[in-house]
Amino acid sequence: MAPPDHRRPFKRPTISDQQRRRELSLLRQAQNRLDAQQRARCLASTVLSLEAPEPGPGPEPEPVLELELASESEYHVEEEEEGDSRSPSKEFDVRQASKLRGAEARKWFARQLMLPEWMIDVPDRLSQDWYVFARPSGKRCFVVSSNGITVSRLRNGSVLHRFPSALPGGARTRDVSGSAQSYSILDCIFHEIDQMYYVIDMVCWRGYSLYDCTAEFRFFWSNSKLNESGACDPPSQNHRYRFSLVPIYNCDENGLHAAYTGAVTYIKDGLLFYNKQAHYQTGNTPLALVWKDEKCSQYVIDTDSKGNVPRLQQVVLELQEDLKLITSDDPPVVFGCLDNDLVQKD
């Protein structure tokens, strides 16, 4: 009689590439936070060691614990294949951003935005760990207020507008509290129809960097500080363009329904999903996702410069060694197979 088979009748569910990269990004954030805390403890321990009293008569002082900063190899986290998106505050002092001019300014701002990936699977714990909101249609840009002027820059780094605003340091004649060197940086979308800047994220506020803060905190800070500043007030002489916050929902059933079908004051261009623990990472990140279909975006298919749908749509495919044409989805979609004669002719 054959022994009973105790093996499980099902396979362990596979983890998609996007989910794996999400987990790595969160792990890297947590490790960077631990490294920063370790450096702070090391610094504090060093200062205490330097200030320790010299030995003399009387009871011996308690020894001061000296911490050694662990090497990076001990805290190494596996890098993504496409590279690590590091906080720009570690590579470049963000306070200098508003002082850049010309090509240097365009080059710097062109790589500062956090860009979402296409949503190709449903993240784990979507209803608990994610936000969702309807993305406004328009031009994605950074808005920087400093030294009495406000400048908005597009994704390629070029200047969109120069104007006075109610943001900290955004107008020369406005009486605002705080340092004269105060600055703020907002991640916005300019909605041309109503000439409105819709704020989807906050990167810096009054000189305080929010790059290493979670999306949960950044969204809370945006809601509390932007209204206090008067940036959401109607346009005036010292406040040319109005700013507005987008409604953000927890990504549960009610939140998804509100973001997908709810009425908003702007034209929708898909849905944006943000992980609540995501830091503001430059470049593409799996902790921010975008979804578009014909019900929530008018740009779900290609259009020409006049907004007309062309007769043929374009798609980018990858040619495998076995001559199969596939998409970059995970898992990929096979479109067909080319024969050797056709490849040789090309």
Mind listing the pLDDT tens digit for each residue in 163-209? 999 999 888 864 555 555 678 999 999 999 999 999 999 999 998 88
Cα Rg of the chain, angstroms: 26
Structure tokens at 33: 């936070």
Question: So what's the pLDDT on residue 110?
Answer: 79
Question: So what's the pLDDT on residue 48?
Answer: 57
Work out the average pLDDT over 268-279.
95
Question: So what's the pLDDT on residue 68?
Answer: 39
HSE at residue 202, side-chain half, CA atoms within 13 A, is 28
Report d(CA 117, CA 29) in Å as an integer: 18
Is residue 196 within 8 Å of 242, Cβ to Cβ? yes
Percent residues over pLDDT 90 in the chain: 38
Is residue 136 within 8 Å of 191, Cβ to Cβ? yes
Of 100-114, 155-169, 214-228, 242-256, the least confident = 100-114
Name the DSSP class of 75: G
Exposed/middle/buried for residue 46 (C-beta within 10 Å: 0-12, 13-18, 19+): middle
Report d(CA 269, CA 93) in Å as an integer: 33
pLDDT(235) > 90: yes
Question: So what's the pLDDT on residue 294?
Answer: 87
Work out the average pLDDT over 274-294.
92
pLDDT(335) > 60: yes
| C-alpha closest to that of 185 among 279, 76, 109, 254 | 109
What H or E segment, with its residue span, contains residue 48?
helix 17-50
Residue with the larger pLDDT of the pair 297 and 15: 297
Work out the average pLDDT over 270-276.
96
SS3 at position 151:
strand
Residue type, 151: V
Q: How many CB atoms lie within 10 A of CB 89?
A: 16
| Alpha carbon distance, N-terminus to C-terminus of the chain | 62
Give Cβ neighbours of residue 247 (< 8 Å, ≥ 6 apart).
133, 134, 258, 259, 262, 264
Name the DSSP class of 239: B
Give Cβ neighbours of residue 5 (< 8 Å, ≥ 6 apart).
none
Flag whether the pTM goes above 0.85: no
Maximum average pLDDT range among 62-66, 152-156, 189-193, 314-318: 189-193
Question: So what's the pLDDT on residue 99?
Answer: 64
Q: How many CB atoms lie within 10 A of CB 177?
A: 7
- As a whole number, the mean pLDDT across the chain is 78
Percent residues over pLDDT 70 in the chain: 71
Structure tokens at 252: 């549960």
pLDDT digits (tens, 9 = 90+) for 93-109: 555 655 667 787 777 77
Of 54-68, 152-166, 238-252, 303-317, the least confident = 54-68
Is residue 138 within 8 Å of 198, Cβ to Cβ? yes
Work out the average pLDDT over 231-250.
94
Question: So what's the pLDDT on residue 326?
Answer: 82
Phi first, then psi: what are they for 340, rounded to 5°?
Answer: -60, -35
Of 75-84, 217-226, 271-280, 293-302, the least confident = 75-84
| C-alpha closest to that of 142 among 52, 227, 68, 203 | 203
Residue with the larger pLDDT of the pair 322 and 81: 322
Question: So what's the pLDDT on residue 91?
Answer: 41
Report d(CA 253, CA 234) in Å as an integer: 34
pLDDT digits (tens, 9 = 90+) for 105-136: 777 777 889 999 989 889 999 999 999 999 99
Work out the average pLDDT over 245-254.
96
Is residue 285 within 8 Å of 201, Cβ to Cβ? no
Q: How many CB atoms lie within 10 A of CB 17?
A: 15
Secondary structure in 3-state letters for 89-112: HHHCCHHHHHHCCHHHHHHHHCCC
